[in-house]
Structure 1
Amino acid sequence: MSTDYQQAREALGRRLRELRLSAVGGRLTGTQLAQRLGWPHSKVYKLEGGRQTATPEDLRAWADGVGQAEAVEELLARLRGFESHIRSWRRQLAAGHRPVQDTWNVAVDQARTIHAWEEAVIPGMLQTADYARHIFLRYADLYGTARDTEEAVRSRMERQTWLYQGGRRFHALLWEPALHALVCPPSVLAAQLDRLAGHVGMDTIELGVIPLTASLKVPTANGFWVLDNSLVIAEDWHAELWLDDTETVASYRRVWDRLAESAVYGADAQNVINRARRGLHPR
């Protein structure tokens, strides 16, 4: 969990405690408030200690329970403020993959420079439509979400127009296993690798590949994107993190720079890609 997110959750907890101690009719103990709300007493202490994320319903119940209904809007605003940093897949994908892709399109369109790191898949900005289609299907199966696959693919393909606009620069880093991962049929991966090799040398793209044999300065952990050195978007299995505090962004850029030291570029990157391509047996 991000530091800024946790700090905000703890700050909300402190505010909830203030409201409990200044309850209309006299201060309440945590146990008294829990009894009034029909909650286990541990929930009160977890919320106040920043160890559990409150829901909007929790905040409304709390405000009512301490007799301070006028505090609801303030509490909800606090929740919206820090929840915007961590976007659960359950909530994001409730309406399918297309809305998520559209949100990405807005953020990318505003950026001039992007630094991306992917250790397991080809970056979305460089994917073929067929490869993207299989990625969306895999995640739809995993999360049981709506299958708006074609709409999501179109949105992702629209984002790639960014690569053909002057004044933009996409710095992409890949770990070699991403070139071999059969998240799609071999024939689809073969076409994807052909496309990827064709991107090497474009004036808006700097493509680096870290070979399996490379010495690593840092471990190859989860993928992330840095937009204009002001916003980081990182994915985990439970959520997508949008992080914009200066210290966190700087940390991710340091990681990207360390990884870049292990990458090969130009003809050497093409050789790694072509080697993976030759190892495929499309069917």
Structure 2
Amino acid sequence: MSSSPSSSAQAAREAVAARLKEMRLDAGLTGVELGVRCGWHKAKSSRIENARTPPSDADIRAWTRICGVPEQATDLIAASRTAETMYVEWKRKQRTGLRRLQESYVPLYERTRQFRVYSSDVVPGFLQTVDYATALLAAITEFRGIPDDVSDAVEARMARSQIIREGRRRFAFLIEESVLRYRIGDRETMSSQLEHLLTTMSLPTVSLGIIPFDVDRRIWPMEACYIYDDQLVQAELLTADVSISTPGEVGTYLKAFARLQEEAVYGVKARTLINSAIDALG
């Protein structure tokens, strides 16, 4: 995968910054002169041009107006907003709780036909039981110190996950064997979750591959990622949700996913790993 999951976002910010600098140079203005005419501190122009400070909509409108190209403001504002939504910290997305975040993915799910999901730490949301999701979202709520709407968030997650049973889409899930062993919730919760995997992997829309501990790795365990129709990747970091749409970077994720598929086991072998994990629970 890419060296930095946030590189697409940074590249988008730098593209906006470069265009603003180009406008200033075309207008024959120095950064100080631009700042004076815009009514802000002389260092602000430099921070914006070096992509250290994202410009606000008002900043862009002032910049383009002073440079004599106000008609370009709309496109630049759109590009700047896109850049800022590529890398979004969880504390921003979850500040009001988790229910709205669960619901916000529904439009994306509805327009996607091919899902590829990789996880090295937890069972993907599509495949979670109510109790497992409750334990996981409760842990997230406590860790981040956000409003507790876990019950509503779980209900929303369960509702959106019904999409795997509709038959019009295809889901390829890859999980590390560690996902079967990491204890989320109590023994009963984990056992029920593993039993649920045995049930859902038989759905005609679902392919579930498990990468065993003892496989000879050609690609290392990585951050969880969701790939939508070869067009968009969402990588989940501890601190942020990263959206990647640059074709080259999406292609790198697709390459990594394909290699992980080659290392995974399916069918009877996958069921054996799941049953082994169930047995280990006692």
CA distance in 2, matches of 1:240, 1:218: 22
User: Are residues 1:251 and 2:252 paired?
Assistant: yes
User: Are residues 1:47 and 2:48 paired?
Assistant: yes
CA distance in 1, matches of 2:6, 2:215: 30
CA distance in 1, matches of 2:141, 2:22: 43
CA contact (8 A) 1:60 1:69 kept: no
Q: Structure 1 residues 237, 44: closer, same or farther in 2, change over 3 A?
A: farther
Aligned twin of 1:84: 85
| Aligned positions of 1:56-205 closer than 5 A | 56=56, 59=59, 63=63, 75-205=76-206
CA contact (8 A) 1:88 1:240 kept: yes
User: Could you tell me how far 1:2 is from its partner in structure 2?
Assistant: 4.0
CA distance in 2, matches of 1:139, 1:58: 35
Deviates further, 61-70 or 192-201: 61-70
User: Could you tell me how far 1:116 is from its partner in structure 2?
Assistant: 0.7
TM-score (normalizing by structure 1) = 0.85
Aligned twin of 1:8: 12
- The secondary structure found in structure 2 opposite 1:261 is helix
Number of matched residues? 276
CA distance in 1, matches of 2:226, 2:142: 25
Deviates further, 252-261 or 155-164: 155-164
Q: Structure 1 residues 74, 198: closer, same or farther in 2, change over 3 A?
A: closer
- The secondary structure found in structure 2 opposite 1:94 is coil
Aligned twin of 1:37: 40
* Identity across the alignment (%): 28
CA contact (8 A) 1:37 1:61 kept: no
CA distance in 1, matches of 2:14, 2:117: 31
CA distance in 2, matches of 1:98, 1:109: 18
What's the RMSD between the two structures over aligned residues? 2.9
Deviates further, 57-66 or 131-140: 57-66
Question: CA offsets, 1:238-276, max 9 Å, x none?
Answer: 221222232222211111110111111111101111111
Q: Which runs of 5+ in 1 are unaligned?
A: none
CA distance in 2, matches of 1:186, 1:33: 62
Q: Which runs of 5+ in 2 are unaligned?
A: none
Q: Which has the higher contact order (CA 8 A, sep 6+)?
A: 2
Q: Structure 1 residues 98, 63: closer, same or farther in 2, change over 3 A?
A: same
User: Could you tell me how far 1:44 is from its partner in structure 2?
Assistant: 4.3
CA distance in 2, matches of 1:8, 1:212: 38
Q: Structure 1 residues 62, 177: closer, same or farther in 2, change over 3 A?
A: farther
Q: Structure 1 residues 74, 59: closer, same or farther in 2, change over 3 A?
A: farther
User: Could you tell me how far 1:105 is from its partner in structure 2?
Assistant: 2.0
